[in-house]
Structure 1
Amino acid sequence: MGSIKPTKVDNLPEQYQRITFLITGLDYGGREVQLVQLASQLKNRGWHVQVVSMLVPKAFTDKLAALGIPVHSLGMQRGIPNISAILKLAKIVKDFKPYFLHSHLVHANLLARVTRLFVKVPLLISTAGNIKEGKRWREIAYRLTDPWCDLTTNVSKLAVEHYIKVGAVPQDKIVYIPNSVDTDKFSPNLEMRARSRQEFSLGENFTWLAVGRLEEQKDYPTMLKAFSQIVQGFPESLLLICGQGSLKEQLASLVEELSLQDRVKFLGVRSNIPEIMNGVDGYVMSSAWEGMPGVLLEASATGLPIVATNVSGNREVVLDGKTAFLVPPQNSEALAKAMQRLMELPLFERQKMGQLSREYIVANYSCEQGVIKWLELYSQLLNHKTNNL
């Protein structure tokens, strides 16, 4: 089970085309986007699909409903264990009778494994979306519950190596399945660019964009400190930040401390990210660690030149020196120098970086390629199981 073998992916017998997705919460996050994308692709291929959120959903319910995909909530509250969630999930699974239960993120992965003790699930896949799962006990919990799942996947090659190294998953029970992106939705569009620049009054100013949760992992303080250095040489430059999170007030205070109130705009959660990406001139990411960030795929598909930290999945998405400039994490000076380097390039060179970036993503990480990888994996697991009955 250590690698995926190509198979004819759309000829699974209908009785096997039933899948339940379980995720910690349906919110505006990268893993949620990937789940909804995959669920939609499978539904369009005739699969029977349902989605279960441990927390009360905050996003994507309308989109899933429009596709005829039912969404269930276990009604859990963040940080509060609820044993009854096991029984709720077991009933949902029992009623739907999926052949595949596919869980995403650490809490959902552990819940799915425990729930499998109470209800029949032919195949269970656990997908992790990061190189770090937080505290060490989570890695231990993964290893202890591993016998209750059939396979673990991760979105980054380095993350797969890390999970094996720390003993979270046996080497023969984990594979790499990268994220993917809708390259039609995220693509260069001059009309979108004009609208976006007008909406945010960008004028001719060089504008950077960052999209992501306002949390420790994204390390926005390093980004803001780097941008404060950029403003010294490029006083008209702007930074747009899309996202929400627990560090919003702390980051707003840092913006004031650095006297960037007129140069940094917090836009909150936005539904028009493709349009905003088209409106800016460069994408910047300062994450201290990552899995495989969907926003880098989106920015690349939109044709943006990128400056990002050289961590885990970032280096798998971009080509350093060709489509992006990578720098060490938690180093504001290095980040600022790379941002300045990109800003000083002639326009045609930045456009060339963006064009190559899009070509690389279309060739390697499109939605169609993503769903085929998952269908190949489901087929391989099914064949392995039926051949060993």
Structure 2
Amino acid sequence: MKIDYVITGMDTGGAETQVVSLLLELKRRGHDVRLISLTPPVDLTLPLINHAIPVISLEMTTKLSLPLAAIKLVKCIKAHSPDIVHGHMFHANILIRLIRPFIGNTPLICTAHSVREGGRLRDCAYRLTNHFSDMNTVVSNAARSRFVNDKVFPENKTLTVYNCVDTEHFTPLERDKNKKFRWVAVGRLVDVKNHSILLKAMEELPDSELLIIGEGNQRESLQNYIDSHGLTERVTLCGKKDDVVYDYQHADGFVLTSDYEGFALVVAEAMACGLPVVSTRCGGPSEIMGDDESIGKQIPTNNVRELADAMLTVEQTKYEIRVINGKKARTRIINLFSIHKIVTTWEDLYQALQKKRSYK
């Protein structure tokens, strides 16, 4: 199949990382794939370029350049004549819907990567353009419930397709059990990730250390808190990294404190590396972790006391038990969220939409 992926941008994030993984696997399976980015691409596209996957930028830098981007996109898609156009993230989803009358009968899929992709105006934009989309997909049942219950997407055209993990890349590595317990957190330094309660919890966990990987507008305030509360020796803001597998492999536990998440790919990656997880009940992570408390601890959002208690429980678990539980966590990811399983799901959906369109 010829498949065009259209995405808002390629800055580092779960959605962008997921798109790269999907395109690489689709290419490996023999599909003719391209990536079209509304905004200028960044280094995250290098793996695609290295595997001869075309990366095209519409060079959209402001909202005023949207009409020109739309014209470029129409020309780009008509020249390629893809079998499927698959949008990712709000702006790309809306744009491919708006150009639908100009690109013929090509099936359109729109994927929302979060429980919320903005405020009421964005929800309204989705509602007004739903008739242009053949199928909407979301990355967790929690996200599907939100979009359907709020009548943002129609129930009969909305499916859950989970994000995937390359379980051959994200693998466990034996850690020295005599070293200080190391937590790792991965995510943008923004309000919704709520790293501030993680720093407060670390004040109550003097025998462990924490690496926070990510960048964002909260960096300065988080660093100020670290410096002013005696955490400098145990908590490190590591900045943005394109590949965090090394950090998972050299950690003892993973922690996520978000207020809400569509899927939280980082939780699945950490579990694939055999790490115990402490996560807030914020949407997708609950579906990734399941009900087995030996895999990890789930706590309410924005609760420092329960966060610190859950982290301490994990720290005090014997190393040998953590290894056994880590194997169970990895097995769950392989069975439910492996890249091989999820890409096959996408292939089946693409083929079904093609057949449906051919009968119209």
Residue 259 of structure 1 deviates from its aligned partner by 2.1
> What is the alpha-carbon distance in structure 2 between the residues aligned to residue 274 and residue 117 of structure 1?
43
Residue 218 of structure 1 deviates from its aligned partner by 1.0
Match of 2:138 among 154, 161, 170: 154
Secondary structure of 2:137's aligned partner: strand
- What residue is the counterpart of 1:46 in the other structure? 30
> What is the alpha-carbon distance in structure 1 between the residues aligned to residue 103 and residue 179 of structure 2?
60
> What is the alpha-carbon distance in structure 1 between the residues aligned to residue 288 and residue 78 of structure 2?
39
- What residue is the counterpart of 1:334 in the other structure? 306
Residue 79 of structure 1 deviates from its aligned partner by 6.2
User: Deviations along 1:98-134, whole A, 9 cap, x unmatched?
Assistant: 1211000111111111122333251000000111122
Distance of aligned partners of 1:81 and 1:162 in 2 relative to their CA distance in 1, 3 Å threshold: farther
Match of 1:208 among 177, 183, 191: 183
> What is the alpha-carbon distance in structure 2 between the residues aligned to residue 242 and residue 127 of structure 1?
26
Residue 305 of structure 1 deviates from its aligned partner by 0.5
Unaligned runs of at least 5 residues, structure 2: none
**What are the residue-to-residue correspondences of 1:119-198 with 2, within 5 Å?**
119-190=103-174
- What residue is the counterpart of 2:220 in the other structure? 249
Contact 2:20 2:45 in 1 (8 A): no
Instruction: Give the fraction of aligned pairs with identical amino acids, expressed as a percent.
Output: 35
**What are the residue-to-residue correspondences of 1:302-313 with 2, within 5 Å?**
302-313=273-284
Does residue 278 in structure 1 map to residue 278 in structure 2? no
> What is the alpha-carbon distance in structure 2 between the residues aligned to residue 184 and residue 316 of structure 1?
22
- What residue is the counterpart of 2:203 in the other structure? 228
Contact 1:225 1:258 in 2 (8 A): no
1:141 corresponds to which letter in structure 2?
A: A
> What is the alpha-carbon distance in structure 1 between the residues aligned to residue 340 and residue 239 of structure 2?
30
Match of 2:234 among 220, 242, 263: 263
User: Deviations along 1:185-242, whole A, 9 cap, x unmatched?
Assistant: 001124xx57xx9xxxxx81110000111112211111111112222xx2xx110011
Contact 2:264 2:284 in 1 (8 A): yes
Residue 62 of structure 1 deviates from its aligned partner by 2.0
Does residue 35 in structure 1 map to residue 19 in structure 2? yes
* TM-score normalised by the chain length of structure 2: 0.96
- What residue is the counterpart of 1:374 in the other structure? 346
Aligned residues: 359
Does residue 90 in structure 1 map to residue 59 in structure 2? no
User: Deviations along 1:128-151, whole A, 9 cap, x unmatched?
Assistant: 011112211111111110011101
Secondary structure of 2:5's aligned partner: strand
Residue 244 of structure 1 deviates from its aligned partner by 1.1
* TM-score normalised by the chain length of structure 1: 0.89
Contact 1:101 1:121 in 2 (8 A): no
2:313 corresponds to which letter in structure 1?
A: R
Contact 2:98 2:129 in 1 (8 A): yes
Q: Displaced runs of 4+ in structure 1, greater than 4 A?
A: 78-81
Residue 304 of structure 1 deviates from its aligned partner by 0.2
Match of 1:293 among 261, 264, 281: 264
Residue 78 of structure 1 deviates from its aligned partner by 5.9
Residue 77 of structure 1 deviates from its aligned partner by 2.3
> What is the alpha-carbon distance in structure 2 between the residues aligned to residue 138 and residue 68 of structure 1?
34
Match of 1:26 among 1, 5, 10: 10
Contact 2:193 2:258 in 1 (8 A): yes
Unaligned runs of at least 5 residues, structure 1: 1-16, 198-202
Secondary structure of 2:10's aligned partner: coil
Secondary structure of 1:40's aligned partner: helix
Secondary structure of 2:355's aligned partner: helix
> What is the alpha-carbon distance in structure 2 between the residues aligned to residue 112 and residue 259 of structure 1?
50
Residue 69 of structure 1 deviates from its aligned partner by 0.7
> What is the alpha-carbon distance in structure 2 between the residues aligned to residue 188 and residue 218 of structure 1?
25
Residue 263 of structure 1 deviates from its aligned partner by 1.1
Distance of aligned partners of 1:330 and 1:116 in 2 relative to their CA distance in 1, 3 Å threshold: same
Residue 81 of structure 1 deviates from its aligned partner by 5.6
